[in-house]
Amino acid sequence: PNTVRAGMTVTRLPAAALSFKQFLQRQRVLGIYRNMLRTIRQVPDQADRKYLRDWARDEFKRNKSATDQDAIRMMITQANNHLEELQKSLALARS
């Protein structure tokens, strides 16, 4: 089924129902999610990797019904912040 991600939101809509803005927002969220999973794969400890992967999936699923644009923008910002913090932690652990 077609899935639309807006913010950390997933809504089932026909693809034609997306506005251009919604499409761009969905692409942005999918990109954040993919980057998050790629970054998590770099975590050395298997248990930590599993915890973080489960946490990320749960967060995106938990917010799938959000429709308020301000809330969605806030969730995008939070997701980016979490991703940056994880990337910084990994960089520090390597050095």
Per-residue pLDDT of the chain (95 residues; tens, 9 = 90+): 555 555 555 556 555 577 888 888 888 989 999 999 999 999 999 999 999 999 999 999 998 778 788 888 999 999 999 999 999 999 999 88
> 25: which residues sit within 8 A by CB, 6+ positions away?
5, 6, 7, 72, 76
Domain coverage including residue 59: 4-94
* Per-residue pLDDT, 68: 82
Using alpha carbons only, how large is the chain's radius of gyration in Å? 14
Q: Is the dihedral of CA 21, 23, 29, 31 positive or negative?
A: negative
Give the predicted TM-score (pTM) of the model.
Answer: 0.75
Number of folded domains that form the chain: 1
